[in-house]
Amino acid sequence: MKVFLVAGARPNFMKVAPLMESFRARRDRFPELQPLLVHTGQHYDALMSDEFFRDLGMPTPDIHLGAGSGSHAEQTARVMVAFEKICLEHRPALVVVVGDVNSTMACAISAKKLGIAVAHVEAGLRSRDMSMPEEINRLCTDVISDFLFTTDSLADQNLLAEGCPPERIHFVGNTMIDSLQKHLNRALNTPLPFGLEAGAYALLTLHRPSNVDDPVALQRLFDAINEIAERIPILFPAHPRTAQRLAAIHLHDRVSVIEPLGYLAFLGLMARARMVLTDSGGIQEETTVLHVPCLTLRENTERPITCELGTNILAGTDPTDILRHAMRVLNAPAPTNRIPEKWDGQAGGRIADVLLAWLRLGSNIPAAQHSAPSQ
Ligand code: UD1
Q: Which atom of ligand 1 is nearest to the CA of 42?
A: 34
Q: Which atom of ligand 1 is nearest to the CA of 280?
A: 12
For residue 374, pLDDT over 60 is answered with: no
Cα of 349 to ligand 1 centre, how many Å? Answer: 29
84 class by beta-carbon count within 10 Å (0-12 exposed, 13-18 middle, 19+ buried): middle
Q: Are 22 and 112 in contact (CB under 8 A)?
A: no
Q: Average pLDDT of the chain?
A: 95
134 CB near ligand 1 (under 6 Å): yes
Supply the residues annotated as catalytic.
Answer: 207
Question: How many whole angstroms separate alpha carbon 136 and alpha carbon 250?
Answer: 33
Cβ atoms < 10 Å from Cβ of 134: 20
For residue 366, pLDDT over 60 is answered with: no
For residue 313, pLDDT over 80 is answered with: yes
Cα of 56 to ligand 1 centre, how many Å? Answer: 20
**Tens of pLDDT along 23-65?**
999 988 888 999 999 999 999 999 999 999 999 999 999 999 9
10 CB near ligand 1 (under 6 Å): yes
For residue 282, pLDDT over 80 is answered with: yes
pLDDT at residue 367 in the model: 60
For residue 361, pLDDT over 80 is answered with: no
Q: Which atom of ligand 1 is nearest to the CA of 207?
A: 38
42 CB near ligand 1 (under 6 Å): yes
Residues 6+ apart with CB under 8 A from 46: none
Q: Are 234 and 274 in contact (CB under 8 A)?
A: no
pLDDT at residue 145 in the model: 98
298 CB near ligand 1 (under 6 Å): no
pLDDT at residue 283 in the model: 98
Mean pLDDT of 169-194: 97
Question: Considering the chain, what percentage of its residues have pLDDT values greater than 70?
Answer: 96
Residues 6+ apart with CB under 8 A from 211: 217, 218, 221, 279, 297, 298, 317
For residue 372, pLDDT over 50 is answered with: no
For residue 82, pLDDT over 80 is answered with: yes
Q: Which atom of ligand 1 is nearest to the CA of 9?
A: 13
**Tens of pLDDT along 134-153?**
999 999 999 999 999 999 99
45 CB near ligand 1 (under 6 Å): yes
For residue 123, pLDDT over 70 is answered with: yes
Q: DSSP states of 3-46 as a string?
A: EEEEE-SHHHHHHHHHHHHHHHHTGGGSTT-EEEEEE--SS-ST
48 CB near ligand 1 (under 6 Å): yes
Q: What residue owns the CA closest to ligand 1's atom 19?
A: 43
**Tens of pLDDT along 319-337?**
999 999 999 999 999 889 9
Dihedral (Cα; 54, 59, 64, 69), 10-degree rounding:
-30
Residue from 39, 65, 101, 246 to probe ligand 1 pocket by mutation (most atoms less than 8 Å from CB): 101
Q: What residue owns the CA closest to ligand 1's atom 9?
A: 101
pLDDT at residue 373 in the model: 43
Residue from 52, 107, 207, 261 to probe ligand 1 pocket by mutation (most atoms less than 8 Å from CB): 207
Cα of 241 to ligand 1 centre, how many Å? Answer: 7
pLDDT at residue 279 in the model: 98
pLDDT at residue 369 in the model: 52
